[in-house]
Chain A
Amino acid sequence: MEKFKVIIVEDDKLELKGTQQILQTEVPEAEIIGTATGEADFWKLMRDGQPDLVLLDLGLGGSTTVGVDICRQLRSRYADMKILVFTGEILNERLWVEVLSAGADGIILKTGNLLQRDDIVQVMHGRHLVFNEPFLEKVMARFRKVVCKEQAAVDACVEYEIDEYDERFLRHLALGYTKDMIAGLRQMPFSTKSLEKRQVDLTNRLFSERERSGVNAVRLVVRAIQLHIIDPENLVADEQ
C-alpha cells in the first residue's frame, strides 16, 4: 500500500491520542498531516493541504452530529476523497444511515476492536461500505431478523396449510375488502358463502380451540400478520 495523507478530526484528546497511536503502530503508510478538534480547525487544515483520507468523528464539541454535515460537504467538494467515519453512537442506527447517505466510505464504531489496519487498507483500496466488526455484528443481527421473518412466513404457510387463496383472502381482508368484494376478484373463484366458510376454516386453523371464541375478521388478520402469513409492508390488492 502506498503512502497516503490523513487528517484526523476528533474532539476528545484522549481518543485522538489513541487513534494516532493505532495509525502509527499499525498503519505506517499513513501520514497524519493534521488533526482537528473542531469544524473550523478542520476546514483550516483542508485549506492547507488536501488529504487522501479523513478520519472523521461525528460529534465535535457541542455539535454532536456535525460530522454528517462535514462528510456531506467533503463528498460534494472532493468526490475521490476517502472518508471513514468514527462514531461512538453505537446505538443510533438511524445516524449510521444518515452518515452513509452523506457519502462516507465506511463506519467504524468506537467499541470492541476499534480501528483495524484492514479497515484502512480496504478504504484506501477504494472499497465502499467498510465497517468494523461491531458494526457488522449489528448489521448481521438485523439481517438475521429479517431473514428469520421470511422463513417464519414460509413455515407458517406450511404449518397452517395456507394456500394462495387463503393468502389472497387474508390480504384483502387486511385491506378492508368485504367478502362480497373479495368474491368479485378475478382470481377468487368463490362465492361469498364459501368465503365465509373459508374464514371459519382459517380461524380454526390459526387459533387453538381455546382461543377461537369471539375471533372476528380483524383478529384473524392480526393473527395472520403475527404469524407472518401476510406481510403488512406488502399489502397490495390484486387486479379486479
Chain B
Amino acid sequence: MKPQATLLPIIALFIACSSIGEREAMVVSENNDLAYRLRYTDISASLQAAKKAYSCSSNDPDGKAEALNNMAYVAYQQMRYDQALHLLQRISGFSRNQLELLCADVLTMKVMQRIGHGKSFFDARLRAQKRLSRILSEEDNLTERQKHRLHYALTELHIVASTYYYYLGQDSAARSEIQDAAQYVNLETDTTQWLYYHYMLGSGGLVDGSPDEVTITEFNHLFRVYTLAKANHFTYFEANALQSLSAMVADSARANCVKQQRIDAYSYLFGEHLRWQTDSTLSLRHQFAAALSHHSIDLFRQYRDLFQTACAMRTLGEVYFTAEHYDEALQSFHKALHLASDFRRSPYQVTPWLAGIHENLSLTYSALGDKLSADNHRNIYLDLLDESRQNKELDSRKALLKQEAHSERIQFLLLLSLVVLVVVLSILYYRQLKRRSLSFEKQVREIASSEDCKQAEHKLQMLLQDGEEQLEERKEECAVVQQRILNEQKRHILQRTKLSVVYAIIPYLDRVIAEVKKLDEMDGNESERLSYIEELCSGMMTINDRLTSWIQMQQGKLSLQVSRFPLKDVFAVISMQQYAFAQQQLTLEVPESDLQVKADKALTLFMVNTLVDNARKFTPAGGKVTIMADSIDDFVEISVRDTGVGLSREDVQTLNDSKVYDPNRIGTKNASKGFGFGIMNCKGIINSYKKLSSLFNVCDFGVESEEGQGSRFWFRLPRVLPLLCFFIFNLFAQAMPQRCYELFDSTYHANLQGRFVDAWLYADSAIAMVEAPVDTALLVSLYNEQAIAAQALGEWDAYRVSNAECVRLHRLFSSDSSLASDCQRLEKMNDDSRVLYVLIVLLLIASLALFYMVVLRHRLRHRASLDDLYQRLSSVLRSFPENAASLDEELKDIAHTLDQPQLRQPIRELRHKFASALAKLQETNSLVECFEEKTQKQRFEHDRLHVMNQILDNSLSTIKHETMYFPSRIKQLTDDMQQNGIESETRHTLLDLVTYYRHIYMLLYEQAQRQTDQSLLRLQPLPVSNLLTYAAKTFGIDTHPAEAWVRGDETLLHLLLDQMLAVVPENVTLAVEVRDSMTYIICNVSGVTLTSDELSNLFSPQTERMEYLVMRQIVREHDAACGHPGLRLVAENAEAGYKISFSLLSTHKPSNS
C-alpha cells in the first residue's frame, strides 16, 4: 500500500488541474499500475484496482484493455481460467493496442500452459510473436510506460514459454527461453518481474552446471526472491520461494550443499521457521522443510491462490514423502488434490499438475502398499499425461496446415473469382470496344464534318463558284473578242471589196495604155481610139468617185483601238524572237521598260515587229539589233537600232519625206525587196494616229542611217503615267491555329536567342488563342516556355504562375497509380496468407485496373488517333486550295491510318465529295483554260485582222490620195489631142502619164494586196436553214424550210444576207434551190423591176450601192476557197419583179453533227 499512498498527492494534484478526460485517463492508468503492482501481493486488492480502472476506462480503450488484462490475470491466479480467457477475448474484440493485445496473448499462453492446451498455447505464442515483431519495429515510438509494459510482456512471454518447455521436460528450450527473458528484467523498474524471473531460475531445472553449483545458484536465486518478496510483501513470490526452498531442503544432498556453502542464509531461514510446529518425528531437516512448506501454504492461503496452495501442499507431501512419512504425505497429497477439486470442476483442467499429483499419490500409495490406489492413480496419471501429449506443437502445426488448406481453398475460390472477373471484364471490354467503335465512327464522322472540313468545303464551293464565275468571265471575254473579230472581219471584207474596186481600174488602164500605143499606127481610127480612151477615163473616174465616197463614209468610224498599255508587254512578245536572231548569229537586245503609252497595242506591236524584222533582214551575222524606249517630254520614243548595211542619204530622204515610193528601189543593190512596204505601213499608222486626235500630235516616225554603219528607225507615241497600286495584305486572314504554332515557334526561338520579354509576350498571346481541350500538349509547351522566360527574367511570381500551370496540366496527362503505396503497405504486412490474399485482391484490383487501363488506353488511343486524325485532316483541309492536286491522295492516306474499314467510310465520303467537286472544278478550270486559249487565239486573230485592216485603210487612203487626179489628167490630154490633133509629144506625155499611173497604182495595189494573201474564210458545212433562220430573225423575212447543206463561212454568209437584205426593198421572200452541185439561195423581189442596164451594172464597180460589191466579194471569197467552181451571184428580172440569187457549193450533212 505504500506506493499507493505516495502517489495519492500526485493524483490529487493532477485531478485538480486537468480535465475530466485527462483525470479519468489518469485514474485508469493509476489503477492499472496499482492492479499490476498488487497482483503478486494482494490478489483481491489487485482485482479491485483493475475493476476500478475498467469502470473508468469507457473513453480509454487502451486503459480498458490493460484493466481487462489485469482482471484476467487475477482470474488466472484464482484458477477461473474460463473467465480469464473470456476477459482476454474481450480485449481482442475491441482493442487495437498491439501492446495490450500482446499482453493478452502472453496471458493466454500462460493460461493455456497452465491447463495444458499446447495447440492454443502455440497459437497464442505465434500471435504474440507477430505482434511483438510489429511492436518492436516501432519500439522507438513507445512511451516510457509502454516500454515498461512491453518489457513486462516480453519477460512474461519468455518465462511462460520457459515454464511450458520446462513442464514438457525440454530443458534446453526452457533454459534458452529464460535466458532470453534475462535482458528484460530490471529490479528497479519492475520488481515483480525481477522476482518472477529469479524465482523461475531458482525453482529448478533452468541453471547449467554441476549439481552443487546448480543447487547453490538456485538457492541464491530463491533466497534473494524470498528476502526481497518478504521485504516488499510480494506474498506470492515469498510463498513460491519458500515452496521451492522446501523442496530443496527436503533433498538431503542439496540441503547439505546449501548448508555448507550458504550456512548464513540457511541458518537465517532455519531460524525463521523454527517456530513452526511440525511433526517432531521428522528429522530436523525435514522438519525445516515441512516448516517452509507450511509457511508457503499459509502464505498462499493468505494470498488466496488455490492452485499454488495445492502446489505447496503437494510440496509438503513430497517433503513427507522424502521423509518417508507416507501417511502424512498421502494426507498432504489428498489435501492438495482436494484443493484442486475446486477447480477441477471448471472446464479447463490443470492437467499437467493433476498428472503430477496423481503420480505423487500413486507413488505414495505404492509406498504405503496400497497397490490398488497406487495403480488407480497411476492410470489417472497416464491418462492425464496422454491428454497433454508431448507433441502438442505438432497438433498446432496440423491445425495450421488445416488452416492453410482452408486458406488455400479460399485462395482458390478467390483465384476462381479472379478468372470469372477477368472473363466478365473481357466481355465488358469487348462490348465497350464495340460500343466505342460505334461512337468512334460517330466521332470520326464528326471530325469529317468539323469546322475545318466545312471551311474546306466552303473554300471548295468558293473555288467552284470562282471557277464558274471565271468561266463566265472567260466566256464573256471570248464572246467580246469574238464580236470584235466579227467586226474586224466585216471591216476586212469591206476593205477587200474596196480593193477589188481599186483593182477594177487596172484593166481600164491597160486598155488606155494599149490604145495610146496604137495611136502610133495611124490606122484612121484615132478619133475612135481617143473617144474610147475618154470613155475609159470616165469609167475610171466613176470608180474613183465611188471609192472616194466609200472611203470617206468609213472615215468617221474609229478604226484604231487606242488603249493605255505598258511597253514591256510588247517587248515581251518581241523578245520571243531571240532564238530566230541567235540562229542568224545576231543579238537582239530588248530593254526592261516600265513606260506606258497610249496607242493601239496591236499596231504598236506590228510596228516594232516590222522594224525589228527589217533590221534582222539587213544586218549581217554577228550584228546586233537593239530596241530602246526613251521617255522624252510627253512622249516615248521607241527605236530599233541595227548594225546593218544602212541606207544611202537618198533612201533616208525618200523614206522620211515621200508618201509614196517604190520599195524595190530602196536599199542597197543586194538587199532584197519589200524593205519599203513595212516602213510605208508604219508611216501610215503614225499618220492615222495623227488624224485621229490632237493627243497624237506628238506621234512621228523617222529614219536615221548611214551607209555601212547601220540604221535607227524610231517612232513616237504619247506617254502616260503608270497607275500606282497599293496592295494591302491582311495578316489576320490567316487561320488561327496556324498562328498559334507560329507563335510557339517564335516563343521558342526567342527563348533560344535570349529575347525573354518577347518570348513571354509571344507565349502569352499564343496561350490566349489555344483551345485547351484541343491542344493541351501545346499549352504545356507554351507554359513551359513562358516559365523558362519568366525564370530567366527573374519574375518569380510570373514564373510560379506559369510553372504551376505547366505542372498542373502535365499532371492531367500523367496518371499516377496508387499501386505503389498499396505495395508499400503490402510489404509491411508479414502475414504470408494475408499477403497472398492481398496479392489476389491486388490481382483483382490489378485486373480491374488493367481492364480500366486497357479501356482507357483504348480510349486514349482512340482519342489519340482521333486527335491525330483531326490534326491530319485539319492540316490537309486547312491547306486545301494549295494541295488540291494531292488532296485525294492525302485523304486516302489518312483513311488508311484508320484500322477499321467502317471508320474509313466518313473519310471516304469526304474524299468522294471532294473528288467529285474537284473533278468538276478541274473540268471548269480546263474549260476556263480552253476559253482562255481560245480567247488568246482569237485575240491573235483579231490583232492580225486589225493590223491588216489598218494597213489596208492606210493603203486605200494613199491610193485615193495619190491617184485621184490621174484620170482627169488623162482625160485632159485626150481632150487636147482630140481638139489639137495627135502630136507625138502629147502622145508620149500621155503614154508616160498612163504608164506611171499604172505603175504607182499597181505598186499601191500590191502593197495592199499583200494583206489579203491569207484567206479570210473558215469554211464549214452549214445548213441552209441556218441562213434562212438568220434572215427570218434579223429581217423578219418569210422563209421556207430547207434541208440542204452548203459549204460556207457562217459569219460572212450572214454578212452577205445583211448586205443583200439591206439593199432590196421590203416584202421579199427567200427561196432555196438545189441544182447540179450548187445550192441557190434566191431572194425574190416582187413589184419592182430593173432595167437591163441596171441589172448588168448591179455588181460592177460603177454600181451605186457598195452592198452589191460586198456581196460579190463574199461570193468571190467562197469561190476561191472552194477551188473556183464558178459560184454565181446573179440579179435578173423575174415574173413580177426581179430576183437576186447566189449559189454555194452543196455538201452533205456531216455525220457527227
Contact = CB atoms under 8 A, between A and B. Distances in A.
Interface string B1095-1126: 11011100000001001100110011001111
A146 interface: no
Contacts of A199: none
Contacts of A103: none
B536 A63 contact: no
A88 B1123 contact: no
B1099 A61 contact: yes
A2 interface: no
Given A11-B1100, A14-B535, A111-B506, A69 B514 contact: no
Given A64-B1119, A210-B622, A15 B1128 contact: no
A14 B1131 contact: no
Contacts of A94: 1124
Interface string A62-90: 11111111101000000000000000101
B1124 A68 contact: yes
B1130 interface: yes
| Most chain B beta carbons < 10 A, residue from A38, A63, A92, A210 | A63
B1009 interface: yes
Pairs of residues from A and B, 4 with the lowest C-beta to C-beta distance, nearest first: A62-B1129, A69-B1126, A62-B1099, A63-B1128
B506 A88 contact: yes
Contacts of B1123: 98
Contact of B1128 (A21, A66, A72, A95): A66
Interface in B1066-1113: 1095-1096, 1098-1100, 1108, 1111-1112
Contacts of A95: 1124
A15 B1096 contact: no
19 contacts: A13-B1096, A18-B514, A18-B532, A25-B523, A25-B525, A37-B1096, A61-B1130, A62-B1128, A62-B1142, A65-B1124, A65-B1125, A66-B1126, A66-B1128, A68-B1126, A70-B1126, A88-B503, A111-B510, A113-B514, A210-B585
Contacts of B1130: 38-40, 61-63
A110 interface: yes
Nearest to A63: B1128
Contacts of A66: 1126-1128
Interface of B: 503-504, 506-508, 510-511, 514-515, 523, 525, 528-529, 532, 535-536, 539, 585, 621-622, 1009, 1095-1096, 1098-1100, 1108, 1111-1112, 1115-1116, 1119-1120, 1123-1132, 1142
B603 to A, nearest CB: 27
Nearest to A37: B1096
Nearest to A99: B1124
B1127 A63 contact: yes
B1113 to A, nearest CB: 9
Contacts of B503: 88
B585 A114 contact: no
Contacts, number: 110
Contacts of B525: 21, 25
Nearest to A66: B1126
A211 interface: yes
Interface residues on A, range: 35 or more
A38 B535 CA distance: 22
Contacts of B1119: 64-65
Contacts of B1125: 65, 68-69
Contacts of A25: 523, 525
Contacts of A62: 1098-1099, 1108, 1111-1112, 1115, 1128-1131, 1142
| Most chain B beta carbons < 10 A, residue from A66, A88, A95 | A66
A91 interface: yes
Given A39-B1128, A62-B1099, A66-B1128, 7 more contacts: A11-B1096, A38-B1095, A63-B1128, A63-B1129, A69-B1126, A110-B507, A210-B622
Given A38-B1096, A69-B1126, A210-B621, A15 B532 contact: no
B1124 A98 contact: yes
Contact of A63 (B515, B622, B1115): B1115
A114 B516 CA distance: 13
Nearest to B1112: A62
Interface string A101-123: 00000000011111000000000
B511 A63 contact: no
Contacts of B1131: 61-62
A125 B622 CA distance: 62
A16 to B, nearest CB: 10
A95 B529 CA distance: 31
| Most chain B beta carbons < 10 A, residue from A15, A38, A62, A111 | A62
Contacts of B1096: 11, 13, 37-38, 61
Interface in A1-19: 11-15, 17-18
Contacts of A11: 1096, 1100
Contacts of A69: 1125-1126
Interface of A: 11-15, 17-18, 21, 25, 37-40, 61-70, 72, 88, 90-92, 94-95, 98, 110-114, 210-211
Contacts of A15: 507-508, 511
Nearest to B1127: A63
Contact of B1112 (A40, A64, A92, A114): A64
A210 to B, nearest CB: 6
A63 B1124 contact: no
Contacts of B1099: 61-62
A91 B506 CA distance: 12
Contacts of B621: 210-211
A129 B1120 CA distance: 23
A68 B1108 CA distance: 22
Contacts of B535: 14, 17
A211 B514 contact: no
A94 B1121 CA distance: 11
B1129 A65 contact: no
Contacts of A210: 585, 621-622
A211 B507 contact: no
A20 B1128 CA distance: 26
Contacts of A37: 1096
Contact of B511 (A18, A39, A68, A92): A18
A223 to B, nearest CB: 11
B1115 A64 contact: yes
Nearest to B1078: A69
A94 B1013 CA distance: 13
| Most chain B beta carbons < 10 A, residue from A18, A40, A88, A91 | A18
B536 A14 contact: yes
A25 B508 CA distance: 19
Contacts of A13: 1096
Contacts of B1142: 62
Nearest to A208: B621
A72 B1124 CA distance: 12
Contacts of B1098: 61-62
A136 B1133 CA distance: 41
Nearest to A111: B510
A61 B1093 CA distance: 11
Contacts of B1115: 62-64
A90 to B, nearest CB: 7
Given A15-B507, A98-B1123, A21 B528 contact: yes
A152 to B, nearest CB: 17
Nearest to B1109: A62
B1100 A12 contact: yes
B523 A114 contact: no
B1128 A114 contact: no
A17 B532 contact: yes
A39 B1128 CA distance: 10
A64 B1125 CA distance: 11
B1128 A67 contact: no
A15 B525 CA distance: 17
A113 B518 CA distance: 10
Contacts of A91: 1009
Nearest to A86: B507
Contacts of A61: 1096, 1098-1100, 1129-1131
